[in-house]
Amino acid sequence: MKLEELEKELSARQGSARAAHLAARCREGSFSCRELIDLTFHSDSVLAFHAAWVLEHVFLEGTSAERDWQYFFARYGEQRNRSCQRHFTKIAIYFFNKVRAVGGIDLECVIERTIEWLADENTPVAVKANCIDILFALRGKEEWLSEELTFQLEFIVRNGTSAALQSRTKKFLTKLRKEQML
């Protein structure tokens, strides 16, 4: 499939079945995962969102090549589209909880950007919730991360947000405090 055709497909109205169909076509080789990742940065925010949605389907199937994961994480910190950030963080949660066997990923960059998204007051609640999951999964990779995550979560509890985020935050704070007491 040519890039123009893929853009046209992604510009059309999407549903879950259509996203799954396009993901299957990516896995079959009709277009590359790299092309899909690049399209999540498209100037048309709807097209970018649809590309991110399809990308999530591709990665969560668990059949992505190491080079696709590496390219995804190389571009992770560049994502500015809030709707795409939601899909990017869901993909990262999957990766750090299920895959973990891919080298060549700059964890420092991933951690830094994830903390920035968590701390940004304009970040949507769903993205913040995903950021908490990512940072919790990575807490053993950097000595300072558990302490920073605790600080960020305490800030969220003090300054209030949605009830759902408050609940999730308190759950992870409890886990972190238990670990710190050991």
Gap between the Cα atoms of 133 and 125, Å rounded: 13
- Token pair recorded at residue 119: 């701390």
- Token pair recorded at residue 47: 């097209």
User: What pLDDT does residue 110 have?
Assistant: 96
In the DSSP assignment, the letter for residue 12 is S
User: What pLDDT does residue 114 have?
Assistant: 98
pLDDT digits (tens, 9 = 90+) for 124-139: 999 999 999 999 999 9
CB-CB contact of 114 with 89 (8 Å): yes
Residue reference for tokens 């992770």: 76
In the DSSP assignment, the letter for residue 96 is I
- DSSP three-state, residue 29: coil
Task: Give the pTM.
Answer: 0.92
pLDDT above 80: residue 165:
yes
Gap between the Cα atoms of 175 and 16, Å rounded: 34
- Token pair recorded at residue 124: 């949507």
